[in-house]
Every structure is written in structure tokens, then in C-alpha cells.
Structure 1
């Protein structure tokens, strides 16, 4: 999503945030109701086209949404009405925007419960565990299987010990067809880091990093980006050069990291 759609989503997200903070842990319920509306939109092309038709007044589209969401809680109807009143580059950007704010609501709930960092870590560990489980990834991506079956598989994988926020995010990732399962978990991990005002560095190393090496790498990256960085490490013996680091769209190799570290030391000294 970019351009007009991204600007529309950001504006609504900024207005929605105080609502989520006020809702506390109940924000998760708001997110689940938003997912239900996303699923309804996905099954109705005519409704998507109507709600993204630039020739229709925003007030008319908002009124239609409020009638459709008559049984939903007020904040859900308000935020979806706000979303459909904006301009979107494509009809699918609207459904993506609603789902994005639904996921944000799940993270706001985890944040209110003091479990946001735990959810972020559990999502990363789950994506890491699935790297070598091709059959499981295929089962989670099998759109011919019912949503209930895919959600049940998530519950089986997570067991009883996962945080509520982790389970909600993973179940949504399994039943939504908008992204692949692991891609959605990675995206939500980035959203969680953003909510904690941290960047995420996805590090692939030929060998395990020691705690001291992790700390040093985080320090180098924080010096380069000017903000806190969450370092998530996966091990892959095939990595050339021993280390691959991705921060957002930036891919940094070990040589660049060395130069950054040298520059940081010169500035400090």
C-alpha cells in the first residue's frame, strides 16, 4: 500500500489510537469485529467497489457502513466509517487498511496487558520454527481447508503456553488470505516494534551470535538509525560472509556494518 491509500490509513490510525488506549485490553475485541467486516468485504466485490467509489460522497459511504455494522460496538463502526470516507488507490487497499487496524488493535490490547514484548518475541520464535516445516506452512496456506481447521492447527502448534495476543494474531494470519502466514507474522512483528518505538533488524547469521555480539550489533544499528533496534537472529549456515542484516527495506552486509562501527567509534573518540 502506498500513496493516497497509505496517507488515508495513517490519518485514520492516528485518530483511532486514543480509542484503543481508552479500550485497554478490550481493544482485542474491537480488532476481532473488524476482522469480521474484512471477511464480509472479501466475499462481496460489489460492496468493496461501492465503498471505494470516489464518485460517491464519503458521508453516504459512512452511512452505509453504519447500517451494516448496526450490531457492532461503536468504536468499530466509527473507525470503519472513517476509513470508507477516505480516498483509496484500489478497493483491496480498503480491506487491507481495515485488517491492518484490526491487527493494531490486537497489539494495543497486548500493550495494555503488559505483554507486547512477549507477543513480539513469540511471533518471531514461531516464524523461526516454521522455516524448516514446509508441510506445516503449506497446511496453513491451504485455502481449500476451512478457516476453523487452519485456526485449530495454529492452536495445536502454539500449545497452551502462548500469550493471548500471540494466539489471536496467529489465528488471524492463518484464516486471512491477504498474505502468507509467515509474512503476516513478520509484518505484525514490525508493527509491534513500531508500537514500542523500535526498529526490527532481521539478522541471518552463519552461526549463533553470543549475547555480547547481539548487543554490539544492536549498538551499531542504533547508532546508524538513531533509534532503538530490536535484533532478531536466525541461523543459516549457507549465509555468505557470515551475516546478513535487514532493517525495513535496507539490507546491510557485514562489510557495511564494519564501516558503520568504525564511523561510530571515530565520532565517539
Structure 2
């Protein structure tokens, strides 16, 4: 999500992320509360167009906007959360919808921080949940069915993940149900990227014909980490269509060393 912000909004998200990090670092136990508060505020701004436009209107004095925010949210959210929202409405935004999107992004960062030293496990679990949803049509349909309430869908998540994953994984899986992204899978993929970024990593999706051993995964991770200059977290997908070799996707970069890829290249040459 953060890569979509431009101009003033990009500046705002950078500053607000720093403020969030400072708040959470000073009081780690507050992270889950801040995460929940910011997500609820983001949802409120999306639902209340008049409030969102007021909060992002550059022609309105900052004092007026922060004052209204204090009246609306005072006593309903933690002081640290309120401070972040006040800071947010006092900034300039390229688009009015960016404010809600940034607050949701900050809620994800806070949730990742609440997992403390388990960021690697959190990233793995988010990937596993996304794969489970994708590979189970009945579950995917149940989580995307507009006729079902969000509360009902959250119960499905509890049944699926309760007692099996980190609390942060469950929190983010439930946030993914609220429709900010095109699908639950897309939301979970974005949340995993945030988890990796917080941990100082890149995320690589690796497609292979057979499962890699731990030693093979470590060698690949080491090679990619040297190439990209930072640790790389691997999402490995066993895909029979690969036939042989390996395909790696990191951001916009694709390294295709698969048999199927070479066959496709040959077909294109013949067709041309």
C-alpha cells in the first residue's frame, strides 16, 4: 500500500511511521491497542465521507481539525492513538482517501510490532493463511460472500486459526475481511510485505517443482540477500507446472530458470 502514496501523502506516511515506531518502542505493550484503534478510525473515515473530507481539507486550520478529532475520539481510543490521529489530520494529503489508507497501514505496522521477536513466524503464517484460502474454494467463498456479516466471517477465521497461530496473525486475518483490498489474499500478501519491511527484509516468492530442503532454501536466501543487499524472506510454492528449475519473484523482478519458462520462450520464438 505504501508504495502507492505520492507527494504529500508519501511524506506524511514516512513521518507518521516514525512517530508510531517511537510510541511503540517506548511502550511495547501498547501496540495491540494502538493497532486496533487506528484500524477502527480508518474504517470510520471510509464510512463517513464528510468527516474524511473535513479531516483532509488543507483550507481548514489544523487547530480546528485536531479539535474535532479530539471531540470525536476522546475517551474512545488510547492517548497514543489519539496523538497519532491528530498528527495525521494536521498533515497535507495528496488524496482524501490516503488518510484512511495510511492509518490502516500504521495499524498493520503496530500489529507486527506486537509480535515482537516473532516477525519471521508472522510472515510465514500470513503466507500460509493466504495459500490456505486460495487452495480451498469453499473457504474462499465463505470469506468473500457479501451476504455474510463480517462477524460471521471472523468466526470462520477463529475456527481456522484459533490456538494454532500468533495472535497477530489472527488480528491481521480478520482485518483482511473488511474489503480494503480486492480480495482477502491480496490483503494478506500486503500485510506480509509490511511484516517483512518491519523486519528489514525483502519478500521473494519461489516456485519449484519439488520442495526444497532446508539447506537449499538457506543457500537460495543467502544468494538473494547478497544480490539485494538485505535479508530475503522466502515464500516457497511447490508447483508441478514448473516441471524443473526455479522461478523467483521479488517485487517487480522475475528470475525465471524453469523448464516451463524455457519452453514458453521457445514457443514464442517459433511463433514469431
Q: TM-score, normalised by structure 1?
A: 0.88
Deviation at 1:240, TM superposition (A): 6.8
CA distance in 1, matches of 2:243, 2:80: 50
Give the alignment of 1:70-109 within 5 angstroms. 70-71=74-75, 72-109=77-114
Q: Which residue matches 1:134?
A: 137
Deviation at 1:155, TM superposition (A): 0.7
CA distance in 2, matches of 1:28, 1:62: 24
Q: Which residue matches 1:244?
A: 247
Determine whether 1:216 maps to 2:219. yes
Deviation at 1:194, TM superposition (A): 1.3
Q: For residue 115 of structure 1, give the secondary structure of its aligned residue in structure 2.
A: helix
Deviation at 1:115, TM superposition (A): 2.6
Q: For residue 254 of structure 2, give the secondary structure of its aligned residue in structure 1.
A: strand
Contact 2:20 2:84 in 1 (8 A): yes
**Number of residues paired by the alignment?**
252
Q: Which residue matches 1:27?
A: 31
Structure 1 residues 175-201: Cα deviation after superposition (integer angstroms, max 9, x where no partner): x21012111111111111111111111
Q: For residue 151 of structure 2, give the secondary structure of its aligned residue in structure 1.
A: helix
Structure 1 residues 121-157: Cα deviation after superposition (integer angstroms, max 9, x where no partner): 2111111222211231222122332111111111111
Aligned counterpart in structure 1 of residue 124 of structure 2, from 114, 121, 124: 121
CA distance in 1, matches of 2:64, 2:236: 49
Superposed structure 1 runs of 4+ greater than 4 Å apart: none
Please say which of residues 202-211 and 91-100 is displaced more in the overlay.
202-211
Gaps of 5+ in 1: 256-269
Structure 1 residues 60-111: Cα deviation after superposition (integer angstroms, max 9, x where no partner): 2222212111112111111011111112122221111011101111111111
Gaps of 5+ in 2: 259-272
Give the alignment of 1:152-163 within 5 angstroms. 152-163=155-166
Q: For residue 204 of structure 2, give the secondary structure of its aligned residue in structure 1.
A: strand
CA distance in 2, matches of 1:21, 1:106: 13
Contact 1:128 1:234 in 2 (8 A): no
Deviation at 1:211, TM superposition (A): 1.9
CA distance in 2, matches of 1:241, 1:130: 26
